[in-house]
Amino acid sequence: MYLRKRKNGVYYIIYGPSNRMKSTGSKKRNEALKIMQEFQTKAETQLSASAELPFLKVAAKYLNYSEIYHAKLTTRDYRITFKNFQKHIGKLTIDEINSNHIQDYINLRIQNSSIHQGRKDTINLKAFFNWAHKEKFISTNPAESIKRLKAPEKLPVFLLRTNSVNFFQS
């Protein structure tokens, strides 16, 4: 987080991984620094408060985001993954979830459904936790260490001719 003075003389706070900008409304550096300190304190307080949110509340925010940026079927897949993951973790808050919870859930999905479903849930949960980390809902990403599963290759199906009959001979 840092200050930047624009051509109009107003200082802006630059913050976040995507360098978002927020105006301080001040042309004086000392005032802008005070405003930035207040902003940083407020952001840290918000981060600690959001860490106490239940998983489904943050997941609902991600589903709103997904409805805007993803296809309907993708959003539906996220909803199904979140519902099943919530059953697995119970009433844990977003900050209490760790990589062991995620890995146990993926293993359970592979056993109960298929490796393809486990792979899909891995992709969905990694995307969700990356977003939650980027949006400052969590301080560390528990899905960062989870490796994406590889689906087994399927062999092509061949049709063999058992009786070679030539239809053109009479």
Residue 99's CATH number: 1.10.150
Asked whether residue 159 is domain-assigned, the answer is no
Specify whether 21 is located in the same domain as 78: no
pLDDT tens across 155-169, in order? 777 776 666 555 555
Position 51 pLDDT exceeds 90: no
Q: Does residue 126 contact residue 141 with C-beta atoms inside 8 Å?
A: no
Are 8 and 24 part of one and the same domain?
Answer: yes
Same domain, 78 and 116: yes
Whole domain around residue 19: which residue ranges? 2-47
Half-sphere exposure (Cβ direction) of 157: Cα atoms closer than 13 Å: 1
- Classify residue 150: in a domain, yes or no: no
The pLDDT assigned to 166 comes to 58
- Do 43 and 59 belong together in one domain? no
Q: Which pLDDT score is estimated for 17?
A: 60
Please check whether residues 42 and 60 belong to one and the same domain. Answer: no
Q: Which residues contact 53 (CB under 8 A, 6 or more apart)?
A: 93, 94, 137
pLDDT of amino acid 50 = 52
Question: Total structural domains in the chain?
Answer: 2
Indicate whether 22 and 64 sit together in one domain. no
Any domain includes 22:
yes
Which alpha helices (H) appear in 95-162, and where do they start and end?
Answer: 99-112, 115-134
- Assess contact for 127 and 75: CB atoms under 8 A: no
Residue 92, in any domain of the structure: yes
Average pLDDT over residues 39-57: 72
Domain membership flag for residue 152: no
Do 63 and 9 share a structural domain?
no
Q: What is the pLDDT of residues 56-110, one digit of tens each?
A: 899 999 999 999 999 999 999 999 999 999 999 988 888 889 999 999 999 999 9
Q: Rounded distance, CA 117 to CA 106, Å?
A: 9
Q: Evaluate if pTM is beyond 0.75.
A: no
